[in-house]
Chain A
Amino acid sequence: NAGVTQTPKFQVLKTGQSMTLQCAQDMNHEYMSWYRQDPGMGLRLIHYSVGAGITDQGEVPNGYNVSRSTTEDFPLRLLSAAPSQTSVYFCASSYPGAFGYTFGSGTRLTVV
């Protein structure tokens, strides 16, 4: 099925550990983004990409790295996990211009 696939769905990390959240889309979308959602809040943009090899920071980029080597994949790396990074992470993709985004089902991350 076409869409945005995120792995893993759940993850528990210890403070200081690093990990990569995977995101892949098969719709040939140029735009891809990572958001985090905290309880009772909307989504906040972490990083985004407008095409392979091009990334930029969003509203809350600290503690996260991204790269975009292919159109399909946009992994999010947590460098040294902190309890403040406990959240639900969503990846989304879109065509350029005025189009809606397709979201993945999310990764629920807990940092202890």
Chain B
Amino acid sequence: SQQGEEDPQALSIQEGENATMNCSYKTSINNLQWYRQNSGRGLVHLILIRSNEREKHSGRLRVTLDTSKKSSSLLITASRAADTASYFCATAVSGSARQLTFGSGTQLTVLP
């Protein structure tokens, strides 16, 4: 079963616009992570937010976490064509931080 579910499944925007992806999960978590996957490649870790954190920034990335709603969002500001990729959220469940459970991903296309 998948813990995280991303929304939307696909997103197409123009270069320079902001992209927002959402993730919902079902059980209590230790932390939530976002990964990027370019076509045919492995996953790259972007950012991790702990369950006691509400917001985190890294460069053009902003992640929020609402544990009461069991949801997270990833905002990419001033998007570039190179941001075109699939984005996955992954949750580390409380008491079992060694395992990650991934959602099905959001395919982001940034048009030049």
Contacts and interface: CB of A to CB of B under 8 A. Distances in A.
Contact of B98 (A48, A102, A106): A48
Interface in A90-107: 90, 92, 96-106
A74 interface: no
A20 to B, nearest CB: 19
A61 interface: no
Given A98-B30, A100-B33, A43 B98 contact: no
A40 interface: yes
A42 B103 contact: yes
Contacts, number: 64
Nearest to B9: A40
B85 interface: no
Interface stretch (B13-21, B40-48, B59-67, B71-79): B40-48
In the complex, which range does the number of interface residues on chain B fall in? 20 to 34
Nearest to A6: B42
Given A43-B88, A105-B41, A100 B102 contact: no
6 contacts: A40-B104, A42-B2, A90-B42, A96-B97, A99-B48, A101-B45
Interface of B: 1-2, 4, 30-31, 33, 35, 41-48, 50, 88, 90, 92, 97-105
Interface of A: 4, 31, 33, 35, 40-45, 48, 50, 58-59, 90, 92, 96-106
